[in-house]
Amino acid sequence: MSESVKESAKHKGTSADSDSVLEIKGLDVTYSTSRGDVQAVRGLDLAVRRGEILGIAGESGSGKSTLAVALLRLLKPPGKVTAGSVMFHPAGRSPVDLLKVNGEELRVLRWSALSYLPQGSMSSLNPVMRVQDQFKDVILEHAPARKDSLGELIPRLLSQVGLEPRVGRMYPHELSGGMKQRVLMAIAVALEPDLVIADEPTTALDVTIQRVILQSLADLRTDFGVTLMVISHDMGVHAQLVDRVAVMYEGRLVEVGDVRQVFKDPQDPYTQQLIESIPRVGRRSS
Amino acid sequence: MTAEAPPEEAADRTQDSAPSPGVRAWMARHPLAAYAVRRFGLYLVELWGALTIAFFFFRLMPGDPIQTLIQSLQQNYIYNAQASAEIIARYRSEFGLDGNIFSQYLKYMEKLILHGDLGPSLISYPTPAQDVILRALPWTIGLLGIAAVLSWIFGLALGAVAGWRRGKLGSRILTNLSIALSHVPFFFVALILVYVFAYTLGWLPARSAYDSNISPGFDLAFIGSLLKYGLLPGLSIVLIGTFGWILSTRMLMVPVLGEDYLVYAEAKGLKPWRILTRYALRNCYLPQVTAFGISLGFIFNGNVLVEQLFNYPGLGTTLVTAIQQLDFNTILGVTDIAIFSVLTAVLLLDLVLPLLDPRVKYWK
């Protein structure tokens, strides 16, 4: 019974559903070092369905962040994608292999179709630009027609993540960690992208703020209908936020499935350990 | 004891603010203006201190300028071999060399501050030193000012590109060239330029500031002549200066390229040019603005070697002549102008920096 659930979950995870936003097939990512090559992602197959929140779980070094930067095409040497394909199906555009597009084609695809939500504690905001200008440059780059509505659009995006309009006139160093994370969330959905890849969106925030951020993320899905891929080492985040969770270990996908199923009945021994190792909300409630 | 301290402190504070509540409130409401006032006060103190040190420093130089003057008068004119003590005393008083050193100092500062008078020059007596300096100043500012601005602009642009495309062949060549050339003395480059373009090829003149056959005036012929004569000295400074700025800009640029906000800008799909200018360069050019302001201040020192080499009638040449003849007033005058310009440049920079970088704040 449980075996068949896992099978069906795995099947759903890898199948080329017509409603998939992203289909990853046989992805290999290697870091070449002076002491030999290190395979960070090995033969990974995964599909992201339109409108879902997919969690990627795993310990440090399991390859989940490498997967994120590889999908975003932000992988820097010595990292290199050595095999696989990533078919991306943006709405209203023809499907593309994210690993094959380059230059101008990739630049145009960015943010309007594929956006990125980095960790707020990282200095992802340009320290010398006002927050509103960091909205403005990306909106004008990809949707110049919205130039006249910017004055109304930016406060609306900020209020969507629970920030006052005056935050737009502030500089990043005047914001708290939680505020920065919200600004990044608002920028991520500014152009209503098909897919947002969030890399550790709650890490380095205190627990109360984490909760609020997770709630805002869930609201963004409801309001904007974005598809989210959330990378986090924190199983609590997955329990609270995601629809499906994919567990990675040593670069491989060990389990994919509905988050409730996975928590209730983890198939892989590693997933079991991962769930047992954390002070989980679910344990207290059950 | 410690328990008593807080009320005492509180009492002190009320006493402190009691005489000037209006000033405090004004400072709290206008932090930038309050900062500017404080900074200007510091500027005045610095100015006074530097001028004072310069004054006493040059009085330590050995030799007697009046003896030199008398000697040169004796050589040039038929003159009573034994100049009377009265004449010497008159010259001493005129040059501000009479009385003890402190009364000299007070008299000098009074004339300088109240009348802008530096005293008569010795090298072209009886012309006042300020006139001698003002005659040379436009040449120096024209040559060195333009050279400094050009080398900063070229250096910043090329250095940014060298940092941006680091690891690429062109960038590596430029960087290594800069490392090699930025430490070559510019007078050596000037000598090579003179040898090649003036001496061997004969394309450009190597001496003076303009063709002496053309009378100075605001016309094409004179301006053309200015450019032609200024090209070699200017080029020697621009070449070496540019390589220096390239190196320092690249050095500032490379760490910024590893910042998270550059990765984010790339993920945003912004055009590379925009990432380079608005994200990378904008975050690292502040030290270069500061350095540029300070280097502009130093222009007023003149560039002694280049001006000597090209016989350019600027401040550097004036300074050398003045030192040779122990012309206290002119030497001090050139030094005073250098002090004034460097300190003023730094003052203006300090006032402008908060506008350039929002993270710079001098007030709470």
The number of C-alpha atoms within 13 Å of A156 and in the hemisphere containing its C-beta is 10
CB–CB contact A141 B270 (8 Å):
yes
Tens-digit pLDDT profile for residues B222-250: 777 778 778 888 888 898 889 999 999 99
pLDDT at B362: 66
Phi, psi dihedral angles at A247 (to 5 degrees): -105, 130
A174's enclosing H/E stretch is: none
Tally C-beta pairs within 8 A across A and B: 70
Contact A108, B269 (CB under 8 A): yes
So what's the pLDDT on residue B191? 87
Coil, strand or helix at A59: coil
* DSSP code of residue B200: I
Task: Please tell me which residue, A230 or B64, carries the higher pLDDT value.
Answer: A230
Of the partner residues A106, A111, A137, the one whose CB lies closest to the CB of residue B274: A137
Inter-chain CB proximity A123 and B261 less than 8 Å:
yes
- Burial (CB count within 10 angstroms: exposed 0-12, middle 13-18, buried 19+), residue B106: exposed
Model pLDDT, residue B50? 93
pLDDT at A91 over 60: yes
| Residue/partner pairs of A266-274 with CB below 8 Å, 24 or more apart | A267/A2, A267/A3, A267/A5, A267/A6, A271/A247, A274/A57, A274/A58, A274/A59, A274/A235, A274/A247
Question: What residues contact B43, with CB distance under 8 A and at least 6 apart?
Answer: B343, B344, B347
The per-residue pLDDT for B24 is: 80
Q: Which CATH number fits domain B138-325: 1.10.3720.10, 2.40.160.20, 1.10.760.10, 3.50.50.60?
A: 1.10.3720.10
The larger pLDDT score, comparing residue B43 to residue B312, is at B43
Structure tokens of B21? Answer: 């509540």
Q: Kindly state the tokens that stand for B226.
A: 């200015």
Query: Which residues in A lie closer than 8 A to residue B279 (C-beta atoms)?
Result: 126
pTM confidence score: 0.77
Q: With 70 as the cut, is the pLDDT of residue B14 above it?
A: no
Length of chain A measured in residues: 286
Looking at every residue in chain A, the average pLDDT score rounds to: 85
> A138 to chain B: nearest residue by CA?
B268
Mean pLDDT, residues A245-262? 90
pLDDT value at position B4? 40
Contact at CB, B267 and A173, closer than 8 angstroms: no
With bands split at pLDDT 50, 70 and 90, how would you rate the model's confidence at A285? very low
B16: number of CA atoms within 13 Å, CB side? 7
- Tens-digit pLDDT profile for residues B330-346: 888 988 888 898 899 88
What is the pLDDT, as a whole number, of residue A5?
42
- ipTM, two decimals, is 0.86
A118 contacts in chain B (CB < 8 Å): 260, 263-264, 267
* Confidence band for A222, pLDDT divided at 50, 70 and 90: confident
Report the candidate in B140, B194, B193, B151 with the shortest Cα–Cα distance to residue B307. Answer: B140
Measured distance CA(B40)–CA(A208) in Å, rounded:
47
Burial annotation A259-269 (CB, 10 A radius, 16+ → b, else e): bebbbeebbee
Strand, helix or coil at B333? helix
B12 has a pLDDT exceeding 60: no
Domain extents in chain B: 138-325
Lowest-confidence region among A12-21, B53-62, B172-181, B214-223: A12-21
Residues of B in CB contact (< 8 Å) with A are: 259-261, 263-271, 274, 278-279, 282-283, 357-359
Are B267 and A106 within 8 A, CB to CB? no
Structure tokens at B79: 């003159």
**Residue B160: per-residue pLDDT:** 92
Q: Does domain A2-279 have CATH number 3.40.50.300?
A: yes
CA distance A249 to A270: 8
Choose the closest CB to A123 out of B259, B266, B282: B259
Surface-to-core class of residue A142, CB atoms within 10 Å of its CB (0-12 exposed, 13-18 middle, 19+ buried): buried
Length of chain B: 364
Boundaries of every domain in chain A: 2-279
Mean pLDDT of chain B: 82
Cβ distance of B270 and A138 shorter than 8 Å = yes
pLDDT higher than threshold 70 for residue B7 = no
Phi, psi dihedral angles at B63 (to 5 degrees):
105, 160
3-class state of residue A20 by DSSP: strand
* B260 contacts on A by Cβ (under 8 Å): 118, 122-124
Portion of chain B with pLDDT greater than 90, in percent: 18
- pLDDT tier, B363 (very low <50, low <70, confident <90, very high otherwise): low
pLDDT recorded at residue B1 = 38
Q: In the predicted model, is pLDDT for residue B292 greater than 60? A: yes
CA angle A174, A178, A184 (to 5 degrees): 85
Q: Minimal Cα–Cα distance from A269 to chain B, Å?
A: 36
